[in-house]
Structure 1
């Protein structure tokens, strides 16, 4: 019999269509065919055939089975226990899955394309298009999802072999039907980009971002955002056929079938199931497999589900033993487990030897020549399992454990399979299957939040889903709010069922640890954050290094921590458990010492902190916000401030640390946090506040030491420069350079020299700026990538740009942009993209300018830097106007004006540059009076600053606006002033203004 469900339902026997009386028989065939070769329980059929099963459901199913047997042959539908198994010659859905899996496994993309094309060719329309009912809609949706996934995989392979056009066509169709599907959008962006259709690729992202925000209140995921940024920057299957094996002589009555019932609502894990299939198919992979993973991750469910799927591969039976490895009282040792297994394989009453070696030998003899599946659940160690492994020859053992069992891999050739936590999509699907699609569809965002609160841990998800199911009137959002506010571990418990609790599962693992490992685990709970370095744990544990390393290894083996190189990560719920256990078991002095050592370790590494540590330090500061020495923990955040990363959170931390230091009467803490607060405001472009706090830091430093005073003066000079107060900045920076030369190594003068270079650049003293920059570079150590190297290239590129050497400037920008990305200096990455955008505009490449400016905009929007956002939006508006898109230009200006109202303080320089942009855009749109007004304001600001090159450029812009409005004489006067300034500066722009002046003068 052949069954087709990849379209309207088809049932054929000997090539001819089979018609059943009524609809129930067809529905029953569908349910059995979807699980062909495995037993489908009668109870599952009852609840699937009807949304609301009648009292006669069981009898109707049994009657329908009789009708099926009459129509297609009695041997086709087999009764097995309290269920049925369908023996079909072909089921198109299973063949489809098998073909997709083969395509997935091949390393040849052309072969994969061929197999996927063949697989997708089996579809005749929407799956089960002629069926209705909850179970059938759910099955159809799963099949359709597999179709979409296969189509995406086909598109990936087509892109891989440089065939982006057909890939884009396929992906367009999917995205049209599934407008919120982010993976499809990402692949479509890549296909379009590879096909040279970059604007379309960017439009796909913008359209999806708008739909996600408007429809679901979500942002694109990080991978999609990364792909967008990259473009802006540039550029379940059936197992293989069983091998031939000896025919078993056991009778049907003697075949063990000990697997527990198939887990209800099993979700996802397709890759793991395929992995297990592959392990079984490859004889050279050994005779066993170990599924290991955290407590509550669903290891037993995966093993049982896979065992049911593979029953026909093991015609001699399936054995199951719960070894209770983490039950200190009822754990099953190898001897008792062997006795249980042997009794399952022998006739009732047959003797079992008492000698351990004899028992082992008998067990292996009973397995010889048979194909049996042996599931050994919840093992604690290798010794508990080793004698229970089959001797080969067709039988296979599947072991589950909360610990990695490397000994089985090393000695017994067992294949390890790590069970990860559920993905976000799998977690949401698991919740949806329990609470029902209606409650999920009402508030999908709340369901995703609930899944995050459960951390992708299946046990936690099932407990939460059960809690929701018992409260049909509660919304998912209300339940998630309660779970977030409550003791989460306590809330993830089902009363009266000690096994249905996350805490019990973790207790069992914790109790299996030795004393030292328990202490280190609790210390992990004491420390803030869920991502720590091995190095910090070695420093704060208070134990000898070998003891700490051994404890961390044991925690990794027990899945209480996850090791990634030298990083230690804890699952959210494990972290909560560790913190609670620490409060209940560690002495208060040990907790305090652990935190103090943590703070001092970070303080000692202030200058060695890497950007990757920023978030960990921020989380630590937020957690320990009331600690009197918070300022010492916050010191490594200097690089985050300089790089412009996470500024709002850093500002809040530094304010709190400053208040703590003041309350503790700590002069050093007060000084450092005052200068950090000034730096954070500088990075956020609120320069007036930065200058005010910088002066306060200088006053505090005068009561400390020469080092503090030099740092404070250097910083104040930088803030004055950034605020456009160039002459004041020049004086302060000269004072700073003199201070460093008098009191310490002259290399400390590098910082103020670099800022003095910038001051001279803005004042139009380009020769002096280059001289100062060269002096600073001579003092710099030649160390390749470094912050100082980035600064020097940034400042040199600006000099080259201002003096008209655009190609040389582009080369410098390319170098320092690459370096800034490697060093995660976000602020300088912004500087580079913005400067390159200006260079492209000057060279007439407005499309390239827009791409770079959009990249710069993305950075400052993430950092919430309002004045920089306004400036970049203004420049984007100029580029749009230059391309003739005046409507877009005005829209960008309106966005910038709205954003400028969010600024907490004035930034006169940013206002001037924005007025210059408004002048250019308004003139292009024909709003001449508004253009003249905005340009005049820019001219006045740049004249007073002074900023001669910007002053001249503003005069040219306002002159063109005046010419457009008919005021030729005023335009000529402005052009003459601009020309005089540019000639005095000695820059090539003077020639262009001279030509303009000749035209305007007639």
Structure 2
């Protein structure tokens, strides 16, 4: 309904006719008065003559007394308004007829104004706000306009509002497609097109949403269906827009691919909830308010220096509670969002968070795709600070360990504000960054008593005189100790105020009741724990066994308990209801996830150590980690005819964990959602000395790390597993992890380091008699030799590796190696030798990713042979396959090949494709790929050809890529 106009009286026509005064609906009479009012509302601000009313309401059969009936209807309407407490004068009698004012609170007028505002927002580039405004206006339609009115003439007059709704929805969808909401729009657009099959704009939008979701075949089917309808019913072919979208999908135009979301529209809101019953600290809150000041002591502006406050104090003093209370109260002062990170500076069992890891999370929260996140800490800090320039954003860094940990996380813009909490004073930040220190002390006596009352409840502390003051002092007025004491009083009749105070008076009991440091909540947790049924207690204990797991999905608990997935889901909910777990979120795959507070987890560990044997604990952890290994292999198997192809396998135990439905629905998204759990499991297995589990679990998802550019994660798990293998003497595992590290170095184009690491891996594989592992290392060494121009050495390695792969029947490894040999022939200029190994490779049973790689190589070969139409066809197939697999690196390489082939057929289209490849190479930080793209653009000529050539030469020289350097210098 409308939100402005005559106070208290509201009208609605966007659905059944509706009148209300305040919250009370108004009955305006029978069909005739309703139709008269509807006519006036449709013409708000205009005079409607009696004759016009007669024509619209009575249509072709007005009675002789019709003018009297019009007057009676007007009188009835005014009476209904008067009776309901509204203003009857809203229906005016004017010369020649009747009128309602334009200022009326009418939903249709609100829509007109809102749609105009949305269009202005869109024209001004505020896409997200415009889409939100459109959606708000569309919600005002409650059904068919004037539903229930029978006059056909009146309904015809109202039809423009239905057309307006359809047009507004199409405009809204256009904006939401620009924002990247294609997946969310598909179902709505299908319904829309089903109801209005001849609206070409909506059909084109449905095609785009499907295509951008990777469903090109479905998009083309929507076009075919629409064309049949238009030809059969109208005798017309589809219009130009529909044909254009159809052609773009056929040509795989970038517009029909999934777009990157606009970073500027992302406003993170990461603040955890504020502490319950936060009390006191008024002076400290006012001190933090000084962060909001915009001028320094001399009255100047501080646009060049970020303001930082360091809140320090002993554990349990309430540092985080103060920071959260202030941040939530002042959130409106930071319209560009709030970032939060727990830096784990003083978390038992967890090392301090690495700044580069925190920045990875911040950049993703700010909308940066993973492939654009740089590798080094310095580059990540630079990008982070660049993104925050001019933005009004709050950063809360909780539980910091040192000034060095914090410095890379400070914005560079004076428009941002930062709160850091730590058990240390972090004087380095005060001296060098000008941070304001805020040291917390215990609560004032009155505030301590108030906190006890608020948590325990006034009924439990009715005797609030000396006894309550004594309790507060026995707790040293430390907020966390006060909360423990108040919680004991709040849980029931176990303690009275006098009993608790008496217990704490005895010094030998006081520390047991209010333990300092990490163990201080043991007794409070125990009350909740003992109230749980035995199965839930066991689940709680088992979760405590997991180290470093940020949050867990129910399948992990199912593996720990050796129970069903459904049973684990029920236990998670039971623990959440008891406040022993916290529901966190649904991850990208749709799984529900849960977290456990650090102190609660410590209690869970205690209970596990006290109530379960070492063998039981080890067995549960082996099932969980082995379950992760089995599920990761299952996810990998969706793209491979046999999931062990091109993968070293050991004898680590695999637990046949029940697969979550999300895994089979979208394996890559599921594995990505479990990425942090997988890393934690590798690290924990390595720490426990379970080298086999560690290295196999580190090796299995390598393709995820490579395709999604998670190079930091890849390096972390490989290093952890390598250390475990060396400590336990697992030589084969050591070689496997050196092979993995060699791949990482190769991907980062650190070719000499890669060669050395791969050589060591190959030597160890040979020492332990693993010819397959040695062959994998040889193949990678061959690729490195090829990039460095050592073609004879490369061919020797490829042939030796291929012989092993052929003997063991690894079709994927055979095919990839044949592709390497073809690339070598192409590089050496022996083009007539390159096609045969590729055709031979593609005839083998392959997964889509390998098929894409080889099809791309075939496109390169066709192009080199001058068979450009075949090259473009193969390139487009390869592009479709890489996008289906969400292989970011593979897609950029295919764009390079496709651009080179297209350049010989259509210079403009070829250049555009090469520019896309170059942009992708720069995002990935792949110097060889960037150099290749620059070289291809230089060959096209033009004003910037020399610049491209110089950049290519610089790239090849820095990599030691002799073959490509010679090609580039030849163009000089």
Fold shared, TM-score > 0.5 on shorter chain: no
TM-score by length of 1: 0.41
> TM-score, length-normalised on structure 2?
0.42
